[in-house]
Amino acid sequence: MPITVKDELPAIVRLRQENVFVMPKSRAQTQEIRPMRLAILNLMPNKVETEVQFIRLLANTPLQVNVDLLRLDTHRTSDSSEQHLDMFYRYFSDVKDQNYDALIITGAPLAHLEYDDVIYWQELQQFFDWAEHHVTSTLFSCWAAHAGLFHHHGLKREIRAEKLSGVFKHRCYFDHGALTRGFDDEFLVPHSRYGHISPEQIAQKNDLVMLAGSPTVGAYLIKNVSGSQVYITGHPEYDADTLLKEYQRDLEKNADAPKPENYFPNDDASQKPSKTWQSHAFLLFSNWLNYYVYQTTPYDINLVSQDVRTNNYAE
Protein backbone atom coordinates (compact mmCIF):
# COMPACT_ATOMS: atom_id res chain seq x y z
CA MET A 1 0.00 0.00 0.00
CA PRO A 2 1.22 3.54 -0.65
CA ILE A 3 1.99 6.61 1.36
CA THR A 4 -0.40 9.43 0.43
CA VAL A 5 0.90 13.00 0.21
CA LYS A 6 0.00 16.19 -1.62
CA ASP A 7 0.30 15.85 -5.39
CA GLU A 8 3.01 18.50 -5.81
CA LEU A 9 5.35 17.52 -2.94
CA PRO A 10 8.93 17.52 -4.35
CA ALA A 11 9.83 14.37 -2.42
CA ILE A 12 7.50 12.37 -4.68
CA VAL A 13 9.88 12.64 -7.65
CA ARG A 14 12.90 11.25 -5.80
CA LEU A 15 10.90 8.51 -4.08
CA ARG A 16 9.40 7.33 -7.36
CA GLN A 17 12.90 7.14 -8.84
CA GLU A 18 13.62 4.64 -6.05
CA ASN A 19 10.44 2.69 -6.91
CA VAL A 20 8.85 3.75 -3.61
CA PHE A 21 5.06 3.64 -3.95
CA VAL A 22 3.77 7.14 -3.17
CA MET A 23 0.17 7.95 -4.08
CA PRO A 24 -0.98 11.51 -4.82
CA LYS A 25 -3.93 12.56 -2.66
CA SER A 26 -6.10 13.05 -5.77
CA ARG A 27 -5.96 9.30 -6.45
CA ALA A 28 -6.23 8.22 -2.83
CA GLN A 29 -9.55 10.03 -2.47
CA THR A 30 -11.13 7.56 -4.91
CA GLN A 31 -10.43 4.60 -2.58
CA GLU A 32 -13.06 3.64 0.00
CA ILE A 33 -10.89 2.51 2.92
CA ARG A 34 -9.89 3.86 6.31
CA PRO A 35 -6.24 4.91 5.82
CA MET A 36 -4.00 5.65 8.77
CA ARG A 37 -3.54 9.36 9.51
CA LEU A 38 0.09 10.18 10.30
CA ALA A 39 1.69 13.55 10.98
CA ILE A 40 5.36 14.51 10.81
CA LEU A 41 6.53 17.47 12.87
CA ASN A 42 9.68 18.33 10.91
CA LEU A 43 12.10 20.37 13.04
CA MET A 44 15.08 19.88 10.71
CA PRO A 45 16.29 22.77 8.52
CA ASN A 46 16.77 20.49 5.47
CA LYS A 47 13.03 19.95 5.03
CA VAL A 48 12.89 18.05 1.73
CA GLU A 49 15.77 15.69 2.57
CA THR A 50 14.17 14.82 5.90
CA GLU A 51 10.77 14.30 4.26
CA VAL A 52 12.29 11.86 1.75
CA GLN A 53 14.09 9.89 4.45
CA PHE A 54 11.07 9.34 6.68
CA ILE A 55 8.46 8.87 3.94
CA ARG A 56 10.71 6.24 2.33
CA LEU A 57 10.57 4.18 5.54
CA LEU A 58 6.84 4.69 6.01
CA ALA A 59 6.10 3.51 2.48
CA ASN A 60 7.44 0.00 3.14
CA THR A 61 4.19 -1.23 4.69
CA PRO A 62 0.97 -2.86 3.46
CA LEU A 63 -1.01 -0.07 5.13
CA GLN A 64 -2.17 3.09 3.39
CA VAL A 65 -0.95 6.07 5.35
CA ASN A 66 -2.03 9.66 4.75
CA VAL A 67 0.78 12.01 5.76
CA ASP A 68 0.39 15.57 7.03
CA LEU A 69 3.52 17.69 7.42
CA LEU A 70 3.34 19.96 10.46
CA ARG A 71 5.18 23.04 11.69
CA LEU A 72 5.13 24.93 14.97
CA ASP A 73 3.62 28.40 14.93
CA THR A 74 6.65 29.87 16.74
CA HIS A 75 9.36 28.12 14.70
CA ARG A 76 10.63 30.09 11.70
CA THR A 77 13.19 28.82 9.21
CA SER A 78 15.27 30.60 6.57
CA ASP A 79 13.39 32.57 3.92
CA SER A 80 14.50 30.11 1.25
CA SER A 81 12.25 27.37 2.68
CA GLU A 82 9.21 29.47 3.62
CA GLN A 83 7.54 28.94 0.23
CA HIS A 84 7.90 25.17 0.59
CA LEU A 85 6.48 25.32 4.11
CA ASP A 86 3.56 27.48 3.05
CA MET A 87 2.68 25.02 0.26
CA PHE A 88 3.00 21.71 2.07
CA TYR A 89 2.96 22.26 5.85
CA ARG A 90 0.16 22.94 8.30
CA TYR A 91 0.54 24.96 11.49
CA PHE A 92 0.07 23.21 14.81
CA SER A 93 -2.72 25.67 15.64
CA ASP A 94 -4.62 24.46 12.56
CA VAL A 95 -4.70 20.80 13.67
CA LYS A 96 -5.07 21.14 17.45
CA ASP A 97 -8.64 19.85 17.29
CA GLN A 98 -7.80 16.88 15.07
CA ASN A 99 -6.65 13.35 15.87
CA TYR A 100 -3.94 11.23 14.26
CA ASP A 101 -3.18 7.55 14.41
CA ALA A 102 0.58 8.17 14.40
CA LEU A 103 3.06 11.01 14.76
CA ILE A 104 6.79 11.40 14.08
CA ILE A 105 8.75 14.23 15.67
CA THR A 106 12.13 14.66 13.99
CA GLY A 107 15.43 15.70 15.48
CA ALA A 108 16.75 19.24 15.43
CA PRO A 109 20.27 20.77 15.30
CA LEU A 110 20.19 21.96 18.91
CA ALA A 111 23.04 19.91 20.30
CA HIS A 112 24.25 22.05 23.22
CA LEU A 113 21.25 24.23 23.98
CA GLU A 114 19.39 23.81 27.23
CA TYR A 115 15.75 23.04 26.53
CA ASP A 116 14.59 26.30 28.11
CA ASP A 117 16.87 28.19 25.70
CA VAL A 118 15.17 26.70 22.61
CA ILE A 119 13.03 29.51 21.26
CA TYR A 120 10.05 27.26 20.60
CA TRP A 121 10.41 25.06 23.70
CA GLN A 122 7.18 26.22 25.33
CA GLU A 123 5.10 25.45 22.24
CA LEU A 124 6.90 22.14 21.74
CA GLN A 125 5.93 21.10 25.26
CA GLN A 126 2.33 21.97 24.44
CA PHE A 127 2.69 19.85 21.32
CA PHE A 128 4.02 16.91 23.37
CA ASP A 129 1.03 17.15 25.72
CA TRP A 130 -1.42 17.51 22.83
CA ALA A 131 -0.05 14.34 21.22
CA GLU A 132 -0.76 12.33 24.36
CA HIS A 133 -4.48 12.96 23.90
CA HIS A 134 -4.76 13.21 20.11
CA VAL A 135 -2.34 10.54 18.78
CA THR A 136 -2.33 6.77 19.24
CA SER A 137 1.47 6.43 19.09
CA THR A 138 4.24 9.03 18.78
CA LEU A 139 7.76 8.28 17.56
CA PHE A 140 10.42 10.71 18.82
CA SER A 141 13.65 10.87 16.78
CA CYS A 142 17.15 11.83 18.03
CA TRP A 143 17.02 15.30 19.69
CA ALA A 144 13.24 15.00 19.97
CA ALA A 145 13.73 11.65 21.77
CA HIS A 146 15.89 13.30 24.42
CA ALA A 147 13.49 16.25 24.67
CA GLY A 148 10.49 13.93 24.97
CA LEU A 149 12.16 11.78 27.63
CA PHE A 150 12.93 14.95 29.59
CA HIS A 151 9.42 16.39 29.26
CA HIS A 152 7.44 13.20 29.88
CA HIS A 153 9.75 11.31 32.24
CA GLY A 154 12.14 13.86 33.76
CA LEU A 155 15.24 12.22 32.23
CA LYS A 156 17.99 14.75 31.65
CA ARG A 157 20.42 13.91 28.85
CA GLU A 158 24.16 14.06 29.41
CA ILE A 159 26.27 16.08 26.96
CA ARG A 160 29.21 14.15 25.55
CA ALA A 161 32.60 15.86 25.33
CA GLU A 162 32.90 14.66 21.73
CA LYS A 163 30.18 14.11 19.16
CA LEU A 164 29.00 10.55 18.73
CA SER A 165 29.18 10.15 14.96
CA GLY A 166 29.29 6.97 12.92
CA VAL A 167 27.60 3.61 12.41
CA PHE A 168 27.49 1.41 15.50
CA LYS A 169 26.47 -2.11 16.46
CA HIS A 170 23.44 -2.49 18.70
CA ARG A 171 21.94 -5.41 20.59
CA CYS A 172 18.30 -6.32 21.15
CA TYR A 173 17.50 -6.79 24.83
CA PHE A 174 14.23 -8.73 24.35
CA ASP A 175 13.80 -11.94 22.38
CA HIS A 176 10.18 -11.27 21.41
CA GLY A 177 9.81 -7.49 21.39
CA ALA A 178 7.14 -6.27 18.98
CA LEU A 179 9.19 -3.29 17.78
CA THR A 180 12.28 -5.42 17.20
CA ARG A 181 10.45 -8.46 15.82
CA GLY A 182 12.55 -9.94 13.02
CA PHE A 183 15.72 -8.09 14.05
CA ASP A 184 19.07 -9.83 14.16
CA ASP A 185 20.70 -10.11 17.59
CA GLU A 186 23.07 -7.37 16.45
CA PHE A 187 22.27 -4.63 13.95
CA LEU A 188 23.73 -1.33 12.73
CA VAL A 189 22.38 2.21 13.14
CA PRO A 190 23.93 5.63 12.37
CA HIS A 191 24.27 8.17 15.17
CA SER A 192 25.12 11.86 15.07
CA ARG A 193 24.67 13.59 18.41
CA TYR A 194 26.18 14.98 21.59
CA GLY A 195 23.26 14.05 23.84
CA HIS A 196 23.43 10.74 25.72
CA ILE A 197 20.91 8.70 27.71
CA SER A 198 22.41 5.79 29.64
CA PRO A 199 20.72 2.41 30.17
CA GLU A 200 20.94 3.05 33.92
CA GLN A 201 18.73 6.14 33.56
CA ILE A 202 16.08 4.13 31.72
CA ALA A 203 16.25 1.31 34.27
CA GLN A 204 15.19 3.73 37.01
CA LYS A 205 11.86 4.36 35.28
CA ASN A 206 9.20 1.67 35.76
CA ASP A 207 7.11 3.04 32.90
CA LEU A 208 9.93 2.81 30.31
CA VAL A 209 11.44 -0.20 28.54
CA MET A 210 14.81 -0.15 26.75
CA LEU A 211 14.55 -2.47 23.75
CA ALA A 212 17.98 -1.98 22.18
CA GLY A 213 21.27 -0.17 22.65
CA SER A 214 24.96 -0.74 23.34
CA PRO A 215 27.68 0.38 25.76
CA THR A 216 28.92 2.88 23.17
CA VAL A 217 25.64 4.52 22.13
CA GLY A 218 23.77 4.01 25.39
CA ALA A 219 20.00 3.61 25.10
CA TYR A 220 18.91 3.52 21.44
CA LEU A 221 15.32 2.23 21.27
CA ILE A 222 12.99 2.96 24.18
CA LYS A 223 9.23 2.90 24.62
CA ASN A 224 6.73 3.48 27.38
CA VAL A 225 4.79 0.45 28.57
CA SER A 226 1.70 1.07 26.43
CA GLY A 227 3.61 1.95 23.26
CA SER A 228 2.04 5.40 22.94
CA GLN A 229 5.60 6.78 23.06
CA VAL A 230 8.56 5.35 21.12
CA TYR A 231 12.00 6.96 21.40
CA ILE A 232 14.84 6.50 18.89
CA THR A 233 18.13 8.21 19.77
CA GLY A 234 19.84 7.40 16.45
CA HIS A 235 19.13 7.96 12.75
CA PRO A 236 17.92 4.80 11.01
CA GLU A 237 16.33 7.07 8.38
CA TYR A 238 19.71 8.45 7.18
CA ASP A 239 20.83 8.14 3.56
CA ALA A 240 24.19 6.54 2.81
CA ASP A 241 25.84 9.95 2.39
CA THR A 242 24.16 11.89 5.24
CA LEU A 243 27.01 11.37 7.70
CA LEU A 244 29.45 12.31 4.92
CA LYS A 245 27.67 15.64 4.38
CA GLU A 246 27.66 16.31 8.11
CA TYR A 247 31.37 15.48 8.33
CA GLN A 248 32.14 17.87 5.48
CA ARG A 249 30.19 20.62 7.27
CA ASP A 250 32.09 19.88 10.48
CA LEU A 251 35.41 20.16 8.63
CA GLU A 252 34.48 23.63 7.43
CA LYS A 253 34.19 24.69 11.08
CA ASN A 254 37.05 22.60 12.46
CA ALA A 255 39.84 21.12 10.34
CA ASP A 256 40.42 18.50 13.07
CA ALA A 257 36.81 17.29 13.21
CA PRO A 258 36.82 13.52 13.85
CA LYS A 259 35.64 11.19 11.10
CA PRO A 260 32.43 9.21 11.62
CA GLU A 261 33.35 5.84 13.11
CA ASN A 262 32.83 2.53 11.27
CA TYR A 263 31.51 4.44 8.26
CA PHE A 264 34.09 4.93 5.52
CA PRO A 265 35.58 1.80 3.88
CA ASN A 266 38.99 1.19 5.45
CA ASP A 267 38.39 4.39 7.46
CA ASP A 268 39.30 6.32 4.30
CA ALA A 269 37.15 9.43 3.87
CA SER A 270 37.90 9.49 0.13
CA GLN A 271 35.99 6.22 -0.35
CA LYS A 272 32.24 6.04 -0.87
CA PRO A 273 30.36 4.82 2.23
CA SER A 274 27.77 2.06 2.02
CA LYS A 275 24.32 1.91 3.58
CA THR A 276 24.47 -0.99 6.01
CA TRP A 277 21.45 -0.23 8.22
CA GLN A 278 18.52 0.00 5.81
CA SER A 279 16.86 -3.40 6.33
CA HIS A 280 16.50 -2.89 10.09
CA ALA A 281 15.30 0.68 9.56
CA PHE A 282 12.49 -0.55 7.29
CA LEU A 283 11.60 -3.31 9.74
CA LEU A 284 11.51 -0.96 12.73
CA PHE A 285 9.08 1.47 11.10
CA SER A 286 6.95 -1.36 9.72
CA ASN A 287 6.73 -2.95 13.18
CA TRP A 288 5.81 0.38 14.76
CA LEU A 289 3.05 1.10 12.27
CA ASN A 290 1.68 -2.43 12.58
CA TYR A 291 1.84 -3.21 16.30
CA TYR A 292 1.54 0.21 17.92
CA VAL A 293 -0.59 2.07 15.39
CA TYR A 294 -2.71 -0.15 13.14
CA GLN A 295 -3.46 -2.84 15.74
CA THR A 296 -4.12 -0.39 18.58
CA THR A 297 -5.81 2.67 17.06
CA PRO A 298 -9.64 2.79 17.11
CA TYR A 299 -11.47 2.58 13.80
CA ASP A 300 -13.26 5.83 14.65
CA ILE A 301 -10.41 8.34 14.64
CA ASN A 302 -12.48 10.67 16.80
CA LEU A 303 -11.88 8.22 19.64
CA VAL A 304 -8.08 8.38 19.39
CA SER A 305 -6.46 8.95 22.77
CA GLN A 306 -3.70 7.46 24.84
CA ASP A 307 -6.49 5.89 26.94
CA VAL A 308 -8.27 4.21 24.00
CA ARG A 309 -6.10 1.30 22.89
CA THR A 310 -7.40 -2.02 21.59
CA ASN A 311 -4.16 -3.92 22.18
CA ASN A 312 -1.06 -3.68 24.33
CA TYR A 313 2.41 -4.97 23.49
CA ALA A 314 4.19 -4.49 26.82
CA GLU A 315 7.59 -6.08 26.34
- Of the candidates 144, 257, 234, the one whose C-alpha atom is nearest the C-alpha of residue 188 is 234
Stretch 18-25: mean pLDDT: 58
Predicted local distance difference test score (pLDDT) of residue 30: 44
Which residues does 94 contact at the CB level (< 8 Å), separation at least 6? none
For residues 83 and 90, give the distance between their C-alpha atoms in angstroms, rounded to a whole number: 12
**Segment 194-233, tens digit of pLDDT:** 999 999 999 999 999 999 999 999 999 999 999 999 999 9
pTM: 0.87
- On whether the CB atoms of residues 170 and 220 are closer than 8 A, the answer is yes
End-to-end CA distance of the chain: 28
Task: Write the CA distances from 302 to 36, 98, 135, 305, 308, integer angstroms.
Answer: 13, 8, 10, 9, 11
| pLDDT of amino acid 314 | 45
- 166-187 tens-digit pLDDT: 999 999 998 778 999 999 999 9
The reported pLDDT for the residue numbered 307 is 54
Catalytic entry in 191, 237, 246, 280: 237
pLDDT band at residue 15 using 50, 70 and 90 as cut-offs: low
3-state secondary structure string, the chain?
A: CCEEECCCCCHHHHHHHCCCCEEEHHHHCCCCCCCEEEEEECCCCCHHHHHHHHHHHHCCCCCCEEEEEEECCCCCCCHHHHHHHHHHEEEHHHHCCCCEEEEEECCCCCCCCCHHHCCCHHHHHHHHHHHHHHEEEEEEECHHHHHHHHHHHCCCCEEEEEEEEEEEEEEECCCCCCCCCCCCCEEEEEEEEEEECCHHHHHCCCCEEEEEEECCCEEEEEEECCCCEEEECCCCCCCCCHHHHHHHHHHHHCCCCCCCECCCHHHCCCCCCCCCCHHHHHHHHHHHHHHHHHCCCCCCHHHCECCECCCCCCC
Q: What is the Cα–Cα distance from 51 to 152, expressed in whole angstroms? A: 26
User: Quick check: 16 pLDDT over 70?
Assistant: no
Higher local confidence (pLDDT), 31 or 238: 238
Catalytic pick from 75, 142, 246, 280? 142
Write down the pLDDT at residue 74: 87
Give percent above pLDDT 70 in the chain.
87
pLDDT at 19 over 80: no
Q: For the segment 65-106, what is each residue's pLDDT rounded down to a tens digit?
A: 999 999 999 877 665 577 888 889 999 999 999 999 999 999
Q: Is 112 a catalytic residue?
A: no
Given the DSSP bridges, would you call strands 22-24 and 3-5 parallel, antiparallel or unpaired? parallel
Active-site position among 75, 151, 191, 235: 235
Active site residue 172: no
